[in-house]
C-alpha cells in the first residue's frame, strides 16, 4: 500500500508541474528523478527520437554515470526497438537478451533489468522512457502502468511546450551530459529548449 500511495503522489507531483510550468526541462527532469525515487531503482532516462538519424537522444537522465550515458549512439531500430512499436518491454537480464544494443556496457554499469515504455505525443511515439535496476526485477503490471503513465505525461509536456514556444522542427541536444545529482543550484537536462525537432516516430 505504501508503494501504491507513493506512486500516486509522484503522479500528482508531475501532473501539477505540467499544469503550472511551461518549461519541459523541469517536467522531464522531475519525471526521471521521481521515478527513480518512487520505484527505488538504479536510474531512469528519457530518450527522444531523432528522425534524421533514427537515434534515441538523451533528453534527461538520473542515477546513471556519464560513461554509460555516453557509451555511443543508441539506435531506435536496435535498442529495445519493439517498445517504440508495440508498447512496454521488460528485459529481466541484460546479460542474455538480444534486444539490448549495449549489453556489456549495461553490465559494467551494474544494470540487471530494464523496463522501456514509449513516450507518446499527439498520438505518435516520439521517444522512450527507460527504468534501470541494479538487481533482477520482475516488473509488475502496477510498475508498468505507473511508468507508462509518467511517459504519457512527459509526452504531454513536450507537446504543450511545442505549441507554446512554436519551436522549429530541429533537434538541439547538448553534447555534454551531466548527472543531475551533481546539480544543486539549477535544474538540468542536456538540451536547451524543447527538442521538438524530434519528429514523431512513424514505423512506416
Fold of 14-163: Beta-Lactamase (3.30.450)
Q: How many beta carbons lie within 10 A of that of residue 90, not counting itself?
A: 18
Q: How many beta carbons lie within 10 A of that of residue 61, not counting itself?
A: 29
Q: What is the pLDDT of residues 128-187, one digit of tens each?
A: 999 999 999 988 888 898 899 889 888 887 777 666 555 434 344 333 334 444 444 334
Buried b (16+ CB within 10 A) or exposed e, 143-182: bbebbbebbbbbbbbbbbbbeeeeeeeebebeeebeebee
Q: What is the pLDDT of residues 59-109, one digit of tens each?
A: 889 999 999 999 999 999 888 988 888 899 999 999 989 999 999 999 999
What pLDDT score does 22 carry?
A: 58
Domain boundaries of the chain, sorted by first residue: 14-163
What pLDDT score does 198 carry?
A: 39
pTM: 0.75
Residue with cell 508498468: 144
Conformational region of residue 165, where left means phi above 0, alpha means psi within -120 to 50, and beta covers everything else: alpha
What pLDDT score does 157 carry?
A: 79
Amino acid at each position: 500500500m505504501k508503494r501504491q500511495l507513493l506512486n500516486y503522489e509522484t503522479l500528482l507531483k508531475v501532473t501539477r508541474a505540467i499544469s503550472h510550468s511551461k518549461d519541459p526541462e523541469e517536467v522531464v527532469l522531475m519525471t526521471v528523478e521521481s521515478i527513480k525515487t518512487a520505484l527505488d531503482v538504479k536510474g531512469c532516462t528519457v530518450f527522444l527520437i531523432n528522425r534524421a538519424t533514427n537515434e534515441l537522444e538523451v533528453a534527461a537522465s538520473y542515477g546513471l554515470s556519464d560513461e554509460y550515458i555516453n557509451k555511443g549512439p543508441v539506435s531506435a531500430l536496435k535498442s529495445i526497438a519493439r517498445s517504440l512499436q508495440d508498447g512496454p518491454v521488460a528485459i529481466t537480464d541484460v546479460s542474455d537478451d538480444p534486444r539490448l544494443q549495449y549489453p556489456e556496457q549495461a553490465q559494467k554499469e551494474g544494470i540487471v533489468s530494464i523496463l522501456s515504455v514509449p513516450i507518446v505525443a499527439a498520438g505518435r511515439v516520439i521517444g522512450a522512457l527507460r527504468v534501470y535496476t541494479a538487481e533482477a526485477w520482475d516488473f509488475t503490471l502496477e510498475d508498468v502502468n505507473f511508468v507508462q503513465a509518467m511517459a504519457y505525461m512527459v509526452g504531454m509536456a513536450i507537446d504543450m511546450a511545442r505549441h507554446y514556444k512554436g519551436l522549429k522542427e530541429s533537434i538541439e541536444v547538448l553534447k555534454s551530459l551531466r548527472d543531475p545529482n551533481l546539480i544543486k543550484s539549477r535544474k538540468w537536462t542536456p538540451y536547451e529548449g524543447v527538442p521538438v525537432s524530434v519528429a514523431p516516430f512513424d514505423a512506416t
